[in-house]
Structure 1
Amino acid sequence: MTMFFDPFRELDRVASQLLDSRQGPRLMPMDLYRDGDHYVLNADLPGIDPGSVDIDVDGQLLTIRAERTARGADGVTWITRERSGGSYLRQLNLGQGVDTAGISASYDNGVLTVVIPVSEQAKPRKIEVQSTAAPAAVEA
């Protein structure tokens, strides 16, 4: 087996492990966009068991939690181990104008998709203009 060794990459990895004082949740990269009458959130969670994903809404605060368990065989000698286990956490303030009761989520190919519908009150709508002027009488 051939293995490419990059000393700078290895040094960067070791330094980040040593200098990272955060033992808390890891970053969950995400994209958020509006598509018509709903918002779509896509979050990268590779290697996560979908059963470990927990999404809840408390008022206008959306919280996403997930857990990756470190996989490994006992008694093996690791050559490199960069895929550590741990917790992932992301919180978003939804603000006004969303239908929190209609939020749905799915997980496919390592990407969590959360669909957040816009509330009916926040959707654009036409307002009909009423006329209060009396119609002019036509004489024959």
Structure 2
Amino acid sequence: MAMVRFPSFGTFPGLFQEMERMKSEMDRLFAGFMGRAPLSAVDSGVSPALNVIEESERFLVDAELPGVRPEDIEISIEGNTLTLRGERKKEDLDNVSYHRRERGAGKFQKALTLPAEINPDAVEAKFEHGVLKLVLPKAEHAKPKKIPVLTVRATEASTSVVDI
């Protein structure tokens, strides 16, 4: 009877490191593909979390920006791309020890490609309780169009019979 040898646990650390590297690379790849920042950028606490709602004639965007002053936010629209830039300033507190610090400080930039072009002249922005609320009307040519259906009156319709 042949003896089967299994690898020792000493050979697994390299395998686990390689699997972790591949996982990180896949996270980065899919984050870019899906239009999101890699998890490391989201975990920093600087990039805002967004809710985006599409209505027939506009998009509504809520961006969580606690600790960011309205004057430190820049909003730009180009075609169907919304870009938010800003900075959360670091709090300088003297003689303190943090037990937990989850909200990061620093500059951020987040670009979002929407499925329709925006009318930049009609955008509304309000900042309330740490939430930036944007109303982004769709460009006129991007709005849904109602097409009337015409009917033919019975008096206008004629039928003819042809003998073959």
> Do these two structures clear the TM 0.5 threshold for a shared fold by scoring above it?
yes
Displacement of 1:67 in angstroms is: 0.7
In the superposition, relative to structure 1, how do residues 129 and 119 fare at CA in structure 2: closer, same or farther (>3 Å)? farther
Which residue, out of 119, 127, 140, partners 2:148? 127
Contact 2:46 2:88 in 1 (8 A): no
Contact 2:116 2:138 in 1 (8 A): no
Contact 1:104 1:114 in 2 (8 A): yes
Q: Paired residue for 2:11?
A: none
Q: Distance in 1 between matches of 2:61 and 2:40?
A: 29
Runs of 5+ unmatched residues, structure 2: 1-38, 158-164
Q: TM-score, normalised by structure 1?
A: 0.65
- Higher RCO by CA contacts (8 Å cutoff, separation 6 or greater): 1
Q: Distance in 2 between matches of 1:54 and 1:97?
A: 19
Which has more strand, going by share of residues? 1
Contact 2:79 2:118 in 1 (8 A): no
Percent identical: 24
Q: Distance in 2 between matches of 1:63 and 1:86?
A: 17
Q: Paired residue for 1:58?
A: 78
Q: Distance in 2 between matches of 1:81 and 1:25?
A: 13
Q: Distance in 1 between matches of 2:87 and 2:120?
A: 24
Runs of 5+ unmatched residues, structure 1: 1-19
Q: Paired residue for 1:80?
A: 99
Larger radius of gyration: 2
In the superposition, relative to structure 1, how do residues 21 and 105 fare at CA in structure 2: closer, same or farther (>3 Å)? closer
Larger mean Cα displacement after TM superposition, 103-112 or 93-102: 93-102
Q: TM-score, normalised by structure 2?
A: 0.57
How do 1:94-113 residues align onto structure 2 when only pairs under 5 Å count?
Answer: 94-113=114-133
Q: Distance in 2 between matches of 1:84 and 1:34?
A: 30
Q: Give the aligned CA root-mean-square deviation in angstroms.
A: 3.1
